[in-house]
Amino acid sequence: MSDIYGAPPPEADEPEDTSVYADYVDGTDPVTHRVSLELSRTHLNIVMPDGERILWPLDEVRALKDQAYSDGVVLAQGFDDMARLKVDNPFVAKELRGVAPRLNRAQPVTNWGKIVSWAGGAAASVALIIFVLVPIMADQLATYLPPEGEQALGDATFEQIRGALGRENAAVRLCEDTDGHAAIDAMVARLDPREDLPYPIRIAVLDHELVNAFALPGGRIILFRGLIDEAENPEEVASILAHEIGHVVNRDPTRDALRSAGSIGVLGLLFGDFAGGTVVLLLANQLINAKYSQAAETGADDYAHALMREAGVDPAALGSIFQRLMDEHGDAEGIAAHFASHPQMVNRIEAAQTASEGGQYGLPVITAGQWADMQAMCGDSHQQDDAPEEPGDTGGDKIERRGGGGLGGEN
């Protein structure tokens, strides 16, 4: 380097020893050689103690990545050569970074083809297991599981769900009013599904505002208070109950439980034991089970239609409560439909109306008094609590519903 007058910069020391030293290993034995380095326009010259020169083309030289000592640098020639050159001098390391054009390149991946085909193989085997093998085995095993086993499975799940729906460590309250349960028993007796059932059904009502109901293994059926509030007449509750009984008869909850036991483990395998996997895992399982359930839902609907016709209760009630839910919450279609575990409601409403045609429907499913007992079984306080949460017209709706129940009794 020189200044504009061509004289050497005054601070530059007279070169006593311009050599730069480094440690070199050749990859055949663990002997470190103290070598000196020289730089030509195109090559890094490694001068061995005996004077032998090893030339590394500068555009072949690369630095090892993610090294702890970032002031120094460990160099290699290309990706196959075993020799290494350790340069601990920060100034030299810096200069090399300036002259070696491809110092920081990453090793090219040459086996993408193999990776892609194994990925395909892994995906295919997981898909085969989750969508074919596990469902088939779950279907088979569900019918062989003894009733006591199913009941144990259902009891365990029931407590988990109650806990999960509750808040601040208190499980959701059960509505245990005797008159209300008598009304439910009367409803079940009217529908009379006994000859289809492997075990008696046990119905619990949870004090929760969700408009929902579901069946668990072993004949447990859970109704939410929100559903009873939503129904305009007892036939609608009966239609939902008949639908859930359909699930019990088809042993859907047991299949579901066995299926997720198989598929959750496999999915956990894919995403590893890290927390980011948990969310993906739950979403993926939800997707699989939702898709699976669509056939099961149609099956339960069909059962409900037949059961209600036989009992002389109009299956159209299933359509009418779905219609109202759809008006209020909209149909689940598109991507959302995959995650909602019920098939498109329009189809189900039509199916209920078709099933209703030409039937003879007599007495209401339970008496007006029993219906009032059922509506009051979780206590009245909640109805009042709910009212201020929603706009005024909902309050009016509530009164209409009560009236609707009464009218149902006079029919």
Selected from 198, 262, 404, 409, the binder of other proteins by CB under 8 A is: 262
Shorter beta-carbon distance to other proteins: residue 148 or 310: 148
User: Which window, 62-70, 93-101, 392-400, 403-411, contacts other proteins (CB under 8 A)?
Assistant: 62-70
Residues numbered 81-140 forming contacts with other proteins, rule: CB under 8 A: 82-84, 86, 88, 107, 109, 111, 114-115, 118-119, 121-122, 125-126, 129-130, 133-134, 137-138
Collapsing DSSP states into helix, strand and coil, what is residue 98? helix
Cα distances from 72 to residues 97, 128, 232, 238, in angstroms, run: 11, 51, 79, 78
In contact, 352 and 305? CB cutoff 8 Å = yes
Q: Does the footprint of other proteins cover residue 336 (CB under 8 A)? A: no
Question: Among 68, 126, 139, 160, which Cα is nearest to 269's?
Answer: 126
Q: How many residues does the chain have?
A: 411
Residues numbered 219-248 forming contacts with other proteins, rule: CB under 8 A: none
The β-bridge partners of 221 are 203, 215
Identify the helix (H) or strand (E) that includes residue 123.
helix 112-127
| CA 217 to chain CA mean position, Å | 21
Taking the complex as a whole, the smallest distance from the CB of residue 165 to other proteins amounts, in Å, to: 12
Cα separation, 180 vs 376, whole angstroms: 7
Selected from 29, 50, 327, 380, the binder of other proteins by CB under 8 A is: 29
Taking the complex as a whole, the smallest distance from the CB of residue 380 to other proteins amounts, in Å, to: 15
Q: Does the footprint of other proteins cover residue 295 (CB under 8 A)? A: no
Q: Does the footprint of other proteins cover residue 335 (CB under 8 A)? A: no
In contact, 47 and 34? CB cutoff 8 Å = no
Taking the complex as a whole, the smallest distance from the CB of residue 1 to other proteins amounts, in Å, to: 32
Q: Which residue is listed with tokens 């007006």? A: 368
In contact, 183 and 212? CB cutoff 8 Å = no
The β-bridge partners of 74 are 86
Shorter beta-carbon distance to other proteins: residue 64 or 189: 64
- Give me the 165-184 binding string for other proteins, x by CB under 8 A, dash otherwise: --xx----------------
In contact, 376 and 174? CB cutoff 8 Å = no
Taking the complex as a whole, the smallest distance from the CB of residue 81 to other proteins amounts, in Å, to: 10
Residues numbered 275-294 forming contacts with other proteins, rule: CB under 8 A: 275-277, 279-280
Shorter beta-carbon distance to other proteins: residue 120 or 403: 120
Q: Does the footprint of other proteins cover residue 270 (CB under 8 A)? A: yes
